[in-house]
Chains A and B, each alone.
Chain A
Amino acid sequence: MSAPSAEIVFHARGLRKIYRLGEVEVRALDGVDLDLYRGELVVLLGPSGSGKSTLLNILGGLDPPTAGIVRCGDRDLAAAGEAELTEFRRFMVGFVFQFYNLIPSLTALENVAIVTEIADDPLSPAEALALVGLAQRRDHFPAQLSGGEQQRVAIARAIAKRPRVLLCDEPTGALDSKTGVAVLEVLERINRQVGTTTVLITHNADIARMAHRVIHLSDGRIGKIEVNEIPCPARELHW
């Protein structure tokens, strides 16, 4: 089991994101300072509209900030262009979405392969599926898998490229609690075994118990940061 190290993966200072919706200005992020360390599992906790998805999108290179500094290693994400952000996502980031976003026309194995085929030093798709416990279901299409299984395929797809960071946006949001716990156990195991920095968005306070650190967001600002000296194992979570 690996523990968080002191190496900084993400470094953000004074992050602002302002959306203009017609006449109205929405301050989604309003001065966020944040460092994320290698190997840690962080939960971003907050009600909807608190800015957690916006923060995740900026960290994942989907959206540039309006102002502020955000770096991943020596890469300046705030100044990066579209092509550079694509390269960043391609080699550095693994995404897990609330609604899985699998490709319905590809089998479980192929959904993983579509990412490993473009990565530098990936796991084999079969290995990645084995890591999430779905080796038996590799030739099933998404329509033949349950929601929890689909999300585990999505996790396998995200980790197969050996990303620097795994970003999960409400990964259990569409699942019942039992299935949700099973998915969180997979994320926990990956974090411990592979040492992938994992950022997990949720509005479910219970899930926060499994994190090394819990970052509370409200109204686009960081309210407080809690540190769990001994994170609770995922299997003990319930909601």
Chain B
Amino acid sequence: MKDIEVIHNYLDTQATRCFNLLYERYAGKIYSKCISMLKDDVLAQDATQEIFTKIFLNLSRFGEKSKFSTWVYSITYNYCIDFLRRKKKQKDIFSDEMEKAAEPVDDLTSEKELLEMEISQLKTVLDNIPAGDRAVLLMKYQDGMSIKDISEVLDKTESAVKMKIKRAKAKAQVTKKEMFKEPHIQ
């Protein structure tokens, strides 16, 4: 059964099996994003629960303008970003990073390096870059979201998102170089 059919069925009948079906489909993915963003297992479990509560309480507001998965991920990222913002008491975790952003490098090279990184290295790099950069990289490369979708999730213009992704890739590359220095051959 497609997501949209399950949603209509749930809204009509409030059937537990529809809830369980959506939970089975999305719980793991939501948890994965939460642990990437929040870097803590217990917080990620709590966040997964809160996000599911939000999703089901707002299910009737899902406008079908985008895919259900995009809508779910948008709630997930915004929840995590708000949580980190409250925790760090930062006004905007995206704005202050622009000042200390790494210089953008060649786009194709940085993308290739990013996508060819070992999984353990990638995890370390993602854990050590700012949350805003982590979020855009996950949206683009893990969820395959379009620039338009990302711009809607973050409430930014498409050109701002493109620049943000470019800088996030550069920052990931710099972080990798700093954390995994290759031994000098003499």
Co-complex (A, B): no
- Give me the interface of A with B, judged by CB distance under 8 Å: none
- Give me the interface of B with A, judged by CB distance under 8 Å: none
